[in-house]
Chains A and B, each alone.
Chain A
Amino acid sequence: QVQLVESGGGLVKPGGSLRLSCAASGFTFSDHYMSWVRQAPGKGLEWLSYISYSGSIISYADSVKGRFSISRDNAKNSLYLQMNNLRAEDTAIYYCAADRREGEWLGLWHWGQGTLVSVSS
């Protein structure tokens, strides 16, 4: 079955860095765009970034542009989010989600369980 498992969250001080990972299984990872979405405590969903099949196309939300970097390793079926210069407002659960395939949009059709990032001194 399809699985997305995030890891790498934790407590970090303002200005610090974290690298999140998302391990994918149960589908052809390299055929799909992948996205990161976050949810601050008690708040709604915020789309952060996506990356295309090969990594050649990347897009970011303005709130993280220049601080966060998305990448993928198709050989390892893994998605990453490098987060630098973290701020208190980055505190959230971070979800990875399986995204579009060539010529096909099914929504963000599968989500991981999320990993919690807390930014505090």
Chain B
Amino acid sequence: EIVLTQSPLFLPVTPGEPATISCTSSQSLLYSNGHNYLDWYLQKPGKPPQVLIYLNSNRASGVPDRFRGSGSGTDFTLKISRVEAEDVGVYYCMQSLQTPRTFGQGTRVEF
């Protein structure tokens, strides 16, 4: 099973400032088609998760461009260029290269 390790687990942020979350995989998530099968999800308080980024760097429909995913192989990063109030919640990375699909532990982002 692929293990995803996120850091930090808690991230205090300041509105308007940048924020960065890391996700490290126990195995490469790079497939032969050139895609890294790593997604990012945000779970806002009391809500179901929503996809932010799929295939490492593609923003999902409606996701603001202040969110950016990058990385390759085993090391991935989610960057928020300027944190807004609506960005608080728990961020998860998830790999879909192999089953079982696995999530990181989650990173709680709070003001």
Contacts and interface: CB of A to CB of B under 8 A. Distances in A.
B67 interface: no
B107 to A, nearest CB: 10
Name the interface size band of chain A: 20 to 34
B89 interface: no
Given A59-B100, A107-B41, A45 B60 contact: no
B102 A106 contact: no
A95 interface: yes
Interface residues of B, number: 26
Given A107-B60, A108-B39, A109-B60, A114 B48 contact: yes
Given A45-B103, A46-B103, A59-B99, A113 B48 contact: yes
A44 B48 contact: no
A45 B37 contact: no
Nearest to A46: B103
Contacts of B96: 100, 105, 107
Contacts of B51: 106-109
Residue among A35, A45, A105 with most chain B CB within 10 A: A45
B83 interface: no
Contacts of B23: none
B48 A111 contact: yes
A62 to B, nearest CB: 7
Interface in B28-69: 35, 37, 39, 41, 43, 48-51, 53-55, 60
B96 to A, nearest CB: 7
Given A95-B48, A111-B48, A45 B41 contact: yes
Interface in A90-121: 95, 100, 105-109, 111-114
A112 B104 CA distance: 21
A111 B90 CA distance: 16
Given A45-B41, A95-B48, A105 B54 contact: yes
27 contacts: A44-B90, A45-B43, A45-B49, A45-B106, A47-B100, A47-B101, A47-B102, A50-B99, A59-B99, A60-B100, A62-B1, A62-B100, A95-B48, A105-B35, A105-B37, A105-B55, A106-B51, A106-B54, A106-B60, A107-B41, A107-B51, A107-B54, A107-B55, A108-B49, A109-B51, A111-B48, A114-B48
